[in-house]
């Protein structure tokens, strides 16, 4: 099946030749984070290894096992590298193999622990980074061969925070050109496949991240999201994620030749993908540490006051013009039932103007891109990128300056309406998509197909970006051998409420990756 849809490029093929140059990467073994633990230098009495191979463990389990001495960082990293080399050639999820540097970092981590040094929350835990943020000493390709000279002078804030927590980066994951598509393919590294089925997309733009972590490559995958690029791959690959509130996790790329447009920055977010909701929560804590390079970073607490009484959940009523597949309807009903059985009170209600919110997102991001970035992007991108981008533009209105100012003003009104809605319903349960997951290159079929996907199918994903609200995705079902995720949306800086609801669903559904691994054997 993979031969039919994938170009034969992987970390052992073109990707290694194109972007596998040796470069100095500073490894930080002594971690600084919000909580520190000084473990004993030797294995603790009663230390137990979790069941199964080390690459199957959660990030929480892995960190605890390394801290207790039940396993070394070196053994952990070796297990994940072996898994990567076993499954990645057919997935093409990781496009830069950092195994050599990772093993050096793992040895340093074990020496640090043996000396009784303080350990970060993710000490020795293998993770991956999406190849569109700065990784010191490496080009920030962002899926574009022409970006070969954009060498990162320093780590981006999210990479720095992960390293300072003790996490060990084992590879960089694939992304479409300029991370602008919902499908992960580019001329530099090729197509990334979905580990569940090569005939459906792994999503985008964090498709490499979602495919890798679902397949067991790394415990946590970094990604980012401006129109669904964390939540869409989480749905497609059957994993969990949180798109945080804008300002929660700092972002900056020193390699960039210009500052990002204002609204693009305000609508985008860095975040984690993982197989377990608890891992997403742990990664969020690590990633959200302060970095002075992001002027929009907010020192908000990770937990807020608990709502009084049973938490009311709004099951979002789907607009009449969105054709809903029966399997999606069943997954949403099942998720609602899981929440009810966990003590929530679920009611199907109309959410505030989801159509108008989505249109505001589409108009703002499209016009900002046309003015600030389009000409430069079109010069260095493929025909597939042009097809996808032209399709995205078809639903947007061309805005002059007064219309642009009205659109940005309308954004504030939409945010206010949703914030007031959360006063009664602290959590919204919504679909990720209302249709089965599409094929790996469906956005290159036609402009009409792109519009159908973004407006007709994933409207509830992209709309949330313009609001800057946190949105979690958790797997809710498997239908016809493919995962279906649902979205939990909460008020500003209330990621805790969204993740609590996601955890309640996960508790009853289970971790879908375990089913996936049985089929990949």
Q: Catalytic site residues?
A: 130, 205, 229
3-class DSSP assignment, residue 380: coil
Please tell me whether residue 60 adopts helix, strand or coil conformation: helix
Distance CA 441, CA 256 (A): 28
CA distance 427 to 311: 8
Name 427's bridge partners: 313, 490
* Beta-bridge partners for 173: 94, 130
Q: How far apart are CA 227 and CA 374, in angstroms?
A: 17
> Cα 124–495–475 angle (5° rounding)?
75
| Pairing relationship of beta strands 345-349 and 312-316 according to DSSP bridges | parallel
What is the spatial distance between Cα 7 and Cα 192, in angstroms, rounded to a whole number? 9
Closest listed residue to residue 89, CA positions, set 140, 14, 22: 14
- By C-alpha distance, which of 108, 107, 80 is closest to 93? 80
Residue that is written with structure tokens 């997954």 in the block = 331
What is the per-residue DSSP string for 192-216?
PPPSS-TTS---SSSHHHHHHHHHT
**What kind and span of H or E run contains 127?**
strand 126-130
Cα 234 from Cα 219, distance rounded (Å): 14
Tokens 């679909």, located at residue: 431
Q: Which is nearest to 54 in space by CA: 84, 10, 11, 96?
A: 84
| Cβ pair 289, 33 in contact under 8 A | yes
């Amino acid at each position: 099946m993979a031969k039919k849809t994938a170009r034969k490029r992987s970390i052992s093929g073109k990707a290694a030749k194109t972007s596998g140059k040796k470069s100095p990467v500073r490894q930080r073994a002594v971690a600084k984070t919000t909580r520190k633990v000084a473990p004993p230098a030797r294995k603790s009495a009663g230390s137990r290894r979790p069941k199964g191979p080390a690459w199957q463990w959660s990030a929480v389990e892995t960190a605890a096992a390394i801290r207790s001495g039940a396993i070394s960082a070196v053994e952990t990293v070796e297990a994940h590298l072996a898994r990567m080399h076993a499954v990645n050639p057919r997935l093409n999820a990781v496009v830069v193999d950092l195994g050599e540097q990772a093993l050096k970092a793992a040895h340093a981590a074990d020496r640090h622990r043996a000396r009784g040094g303080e350990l970060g929350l993710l000490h020795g835990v293998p993770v991956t980074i999406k190849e569109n943020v700065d990784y010191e000493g490496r080009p920030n390709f962002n899926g574009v061969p022409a970006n070969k000279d954009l060498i990162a002078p320093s780590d981006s804030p999210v990479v720095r925070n992960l390293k300072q927590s003790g996490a060990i980066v084992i590879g960089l994951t694939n992304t479409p050109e300029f991370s602008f598509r919902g499908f992960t393919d580019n001329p530099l590294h090729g197509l990334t496949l979905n580990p569940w089925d090569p005939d459906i997309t792994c999503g985008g733009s964090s498709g490499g991240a979602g495919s890798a972590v679902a397949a067991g490559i790394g415990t946590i995958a970094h990604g980012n999201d401006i129109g669904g690029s964390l939540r869409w791959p989480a749905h497609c690959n059957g994993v969990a994620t949180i798109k945080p509130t804008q300002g929660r996790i700092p972002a900056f790329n020193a390699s960039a030749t210009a500052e990002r447009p204002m609204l693009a920055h305000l609508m985008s977010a860095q975040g984690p993908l993982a197989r377990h909701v608890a891992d997403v929560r742990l990664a969020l804590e690590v990633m959200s540490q302060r970095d002075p390079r992001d002027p929009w970073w907010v020192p908000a607490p990770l937990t807020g006051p608990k709502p009084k009484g049973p938490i009311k959940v709004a099951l979002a009523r789907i607009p009449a013009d969105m054709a809903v597949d029966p399997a999606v309807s069943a997954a949403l009903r099942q998720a609602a039932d899981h929440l009810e059985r966990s003590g929530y009170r679920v009611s199907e209600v109309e959410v505030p103007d989801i159509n108008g919110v989505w249109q505001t997102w589409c108009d703002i991001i499209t016009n900002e891109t046309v003015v600030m970035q389009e000409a430069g992007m079109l010069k260095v991108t493929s025909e597939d990128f042009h097809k996808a981008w032209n399709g995205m533009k078809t639903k947007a209105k061309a805005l002059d300056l007064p219309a642009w100012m009205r659109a940005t003003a309308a954004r504030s009104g939409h945010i206010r309406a949703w914030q007031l809605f959360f006063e009664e319903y602290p959590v919204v349960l919504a679909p990720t998509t209302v249709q089965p997951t599409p094929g790996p290159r469906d956005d290159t079929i036609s402009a009409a197909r792109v519009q159908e996907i973004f407006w007709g199918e994933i409207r509830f994903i992209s709309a949330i970006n313009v609001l800057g609200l946190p949105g979690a995705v958790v797997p809710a079902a498997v239908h016809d051998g493919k995962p279906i995720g649902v979205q939990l949306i909460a008020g500003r800086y209330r990621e805790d409420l969204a993740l609590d609801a996601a955890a309640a669903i996960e508790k009853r559904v289970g971790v879908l990756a375990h089913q996936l691994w049985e089929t990949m054997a």
